[in-house]
Structures are given as structure tokens and as C-alpha cells.
A and B are shown apart, each in its own frame.
Chain A
Amino acid sequence: MHMSDGIVNAQTSALFGAIAFIALVFCGWKARTELDERTVPLAGLVAAFIFAVQMVNFPILPGVSGHLLGGALAAILVGPYTGALCIAIVLVVQSLLFADGGVTALGMNVVNMAIIGVGAGYGIAVGMYSVARRSAALRGADPPPTRIVGLIAFLAGLIGTICAAMGFVLEYSIGGAAPASMGTIAGYMFVTHVLIGVGEGVITAVTVMAVAQARPDLVYLLRRHRAEVRV
């Protein structure tokens, strides 16, 4: 979902470049509380894993493909602020090293995938996990099982992807270079990204469940609530 240079005008690109920069500085500031000697290696590997999986486009319709964005996945595993930085680093490496995603469009790509995708995906994940945990506690049951965590990860990935796609619609409606029907663009982006979001959700769920099985102590979403229980 990487925009090329030129399809949105220079002023809008600069505006979103500034928004992305400010947001990432804020994330760098907040990430200090998420990162310690245990989570730094995980965060580095999660960024590399997302880079790798983003290379694997999967077909969604005849002649149309999609790939993981990774926002919900990164946020669930390493926290929202560190997760946003993971996606931003992937986007910078892709743009500067592999000519994938425009250089002037980098701000918009960061806003869509690193800020909106992470924010929406993480919001869904936190909200749903809180509900699942409370309803389990009411029944006197243990914390939600891994399959519930997987379902939450699926929906976080799906909705995060759709929201990220709507970021493009917003940016194109502000500064699109060619006249086009916004309704058509929004509809086409929505439909394709619902389908891509299903793939995103499956990859997010499988990965989160695998890490939660092997090392639940490393999953930020689960750790966060363990800390809450202790308080």
C-alpha cells in the first residue's frame, strides 16, 4: 500500500511529511517506557519480520494483490509507540534502499501504515482484550486463551488495514493530482482492503498466537494487562 511520488501534490505531501515527523518524534519519546533490554531485540526482529512478510504479496482478486502492513502485529507484540517506529523504519528502508514507495510520499505512507494502521489496530486489540479479560474474570476463569487472543489479533489486523487505506482516501481528497471521483476511489480502496485485511488478520493472528504460545511474557498486549492485575 505504498504511494508513489506525484499522485498527491507537493503541499499535501509536505503537510503529511510534517505530521509524520512530529508523530514519530512523539513515538520515540513514548517508546522509552516500552523498551528495555528484553524488548529491544524483539522490536528489532519484529521490524525485520514485517519487512520480510511485506515482500510476499498474496492474490485477493484476479489481477489484484495485497500484502501485510503489520501495524496491528507490531503494536500487539512490542507496544503501540515502538510498533509505529517499527513500521516507519520498514517504510524508510523500503523507500530509500529498494525504491518501494515514493520519497516525497514517505510522510503519507508513514501516516497511513505506521500511525493510522498501528493506532486503529492497537485500539481494537486493547479494547477487545479488556472486554475478553473482564468477562473471563466475571466467570472466575483464567485470562483469555490463546485462540481468543488470535481472534482479537485477526480483527485488529483487519480493521487496522481498512483504516490505513482510508488514510490514502483522505490524502487524495485533500491533494490528489488528477481529478477523480472520490466516491469511486473510496469504494475501490475499501473493497480491496477488506480483502487484504482478511489476509492481514490471518497473518497477524497466526504470528501473535505463535509468539503467545512460545513466549507469552514477550507479548506486549498480554504483559500490559499482567501489570494491571498486580496494581
Chain B
Amino acid sequence: MSGRRSFWVALAAATLLIAGVVSYFASSSPDGLDSTTLRGCEVVKTAAGEDLTGDCIAQEAGEHHLAHSPLADYAIGGRDGTSGLAGVIGVLVTVVVAGGGFWLIARTRPEGSKDPAAAEPGRS
């Protein structure tokens, strides 16, 4: 029984550790899609943040509708160094939304399909 419980503890701990600590070691370079849309532009650091100069797809991008929300860009109130805590908040929100949503879906599952894997359609 303790072996079964330790799996859940390990998965939850790994999730919190990755969001809260490992995330500080993330690369800050643009990802594959962003670097594609940034081709042709140069990112210039300004006092107000970052500016784009040049001709690229990312010039068309508008500011995020929620760019000034309290957790925008994985920082709490825009403060540097708070991404770990923001990540932990994100983990907790995700587990509540997903767990709650899936619990509601599971409540509506059809009677008689006791083995969810056996009920997989399209393989009979």
C-alpha cells in the first residue's frame, strides 16, 4: 500500500519541484515558433521592455489581452524572480481545474462500462 501511495507522492513532488525550482533553469531564448515569427527582426531591449525592429511576422502580433494580469509572464505582479512561485500556483490551478473537470466527466460515464480500457471504441 505504501508503494502505491509513494507513486502519487513522487509524481506530485516532481511536478512541484519542476514548476517551483527547475523552471529557474529554463532557457529564455524564443522557442521554435517564436524564432520563426521573429526571423528578420531584431529584439531591442528598451527601458519599457523589448522592442522589435525590422520586418518579421511577429511585428503583427498584438499585446496579449491579459498582459497586465497579476500572473502575466509567470511573474507575480511583474516582479523578477517570482516565476517559481507563479509556477506552483499554475500547477495548483491546473490540478484543480483538470481534476475537477475530469471528476465531473467521470460522474457521467455510461453504466456497465466498468473497465474503461475495454470500452475503448473502434478496436473490436
CB-contact partner of B60 in A30, A98, A178, under 8 A? A178
Task: Kindly name the residue among B67, B83, B108, B118 whose own CB sees the greatest number of chain A CB atoms within 10 A.
Answer: B118
For window 44-95 of chain B, which residues contact chain A by CB distance below 8 Å?
Answer: 56-62, 64-67, 69, 71-74, 83, 86-87, 89-95
At the interface, yes or no: B117 with Cβ under 8 Å from chain A? Answer: yes
Give the size range of A's interface with the partner.
35 or more
Q: Using A66-B31, A178-B57, A227-B120 as known contacts, say yes or no to A48 and B64 having CB atoms under 8 A apart.
A: no
A60 lies within 8 A of chain B by Cβ: yes
Main secondary structure of the interface of B (DSSP, over half): helix
Looking at the complex, which of A15-23, A33-41, A138-146 is the stretch in contact with chain B? A33-41
Cα–Cα, bound, A224→B59 (Å): 47
List residues 1-44 of chain A with CB under 8 A from any CB of chain B.
1-7, 28, 30-37, 39-41, 43-44
Inter-subunit contact B66/A49 (CB<8 Å): no
Residues of the A chain whose Cβ atoms lie less than 8 Å from the Cβ of B64: 4-5, 99, 102-103
Instruction: Give B111-124 as 1s and 0s: 1 = Cβ < 8 Å from A's Cβ atoms.
Output: 00111111111011
Among residues 72 to 86 in chain A, which have CB atoms less than 8 Å away from a CB atom of chain B?
A: 79, 82, 85-86
Q: Are A98 and B109 in contact (CB under 8 A)?
A: no
Give me the interface of A with B, judged by CB distance under 8 Å: 1-7, 28, 30-37, 39-41, 43-45, 47-49, 51-53, 55-60, 63-67, 79, 82, 85-86, 89-90, 92-100, 102-104, 165, 168, 172, 176-178, 180, 184-185, 188-189, 192-193, 195-196, 211, 214-215, 218, 220, 223-224, 226-228, 230-231
List 15 interface pairs A-B (beta carbons < 8 Å), by A numbering: A32-B109, A39-B102, A43-B99, A51-B19, A56-B18, A65-B26, A65-B29, A89-B97, A95-B66, A97-B93, A98-B74, A99-B71, A102-B64, A103-B64, A196-B32
